[in-house]
Amino acid sequence: MLSEAEKLWPGFLSHQSQTALAFQSTVDYRKNLVLSAKTGNPDSSSSIVVGYENREMGVEFGDAIAISALLCPPRKTVESIESSIGGLLRQSSYELGPEWNEVGFLRAEKWSQGTIFRMPPQWEHTKLIVKVDARLSDGNGVVTLLYEVKAAPQRNDESAFEDKSTDTNVRVYIDALLGSIKRAVQESISTNCTRLNSGRQVSRQKALEIVNAKLTSTQQQQLEGKLGQR
């Protein structure tokens, strides 16, 4: 991602910058993003963003399987996520670069004192590049953050600023920021998307039939494609 960002804004971040994900794993993504969506009948124009199977091994009642699908209007949902993240960063006093470009990147930076390093207070120069996956289907890469933090006792002495991107205090700050970003994404998914679930069934075919009953033929093909990626 750094190489892509470097083409857009050469020199904005150094090679000491760090990468962080709003969703740490596919399980985290499914639990906290997919399950954010409301259940109901999806719009025929929505696309299958995620499809996955849950298999359970049971002794008393036998094995069971459930199929889940997340349907969204992708462009509308991505725009909602981008708007929410942009608003969040503005509220946190970040100055935003050019608005989200066509490949889903946003640049932001701010100067602060004592926000990250409080004892003793330091001047901090924080730079961010945020990337939103336009497909919303990458389990742990829906929102990726590149960040760089430099700090010094005085703002007017550029030579005194040192890279602190790997410092524990910075990690705590970034984790809190990612938590806010994750909540913003969840709200956008809840507002714009629909979740379908077959419930626990005795066979994959039965679970698929229950979900497919609410899908168009195009959406059914999309779901089979997503399930085939597991």
- 56-67: pLDDT as tens digits: 765 455 678 999
Instruction: Say what the pLDDT of residue 210 is.
Output: 96
The sign of the torsion formed by the CA atoms of 178, 176, 23, 33 equals: negative
Instruction: Say what the pLDDT of residue 154 is.
Output: 92
Instruction: Say what the pLDDT of residue 55 is.
Output: 84
Q: What is the pLDDT of residues 66-94, one digit of tens each?
A: 999 999 998 999 999 999 999 999 999 99
Instruction: Say what the pLDDT of residue 62 is.
Output: 60
- pTM score, whole prediction: 0.87
Instruction: Say what the pLDDT of residue 125 is.
Output: 97
* Residue 43 one-letter amino acid: D
* Residue 105 one-letter amino acid: F
Instruction: Say what the pLDDT of residue 138 is.
Output: 63
The CA distance from 78 to 91, in Å, is 20
- Whether 151 contacts 164, CB under 8 Å: yes
Q: In which domain, by residue range, is 49 found?
A: 2-227
- Whether 53 contacts 65, CB under 8 Å: yes
Domain count, the chain: 1
Instruction: Say what the pLDDT of residue 59 is.
Output: 44
Instruction: Report, as ranges of residue numbers, the positions in the chain whose pLDDT lies below 50.
Output: 59
Helical ranges in 25-167 per DSSP H: 26-32, 74-91
Instruction: Say what the pLDDT of residue 18 is.
Output: 94
Terminus-to-terminus CA distance in the chain, angstroms? 24
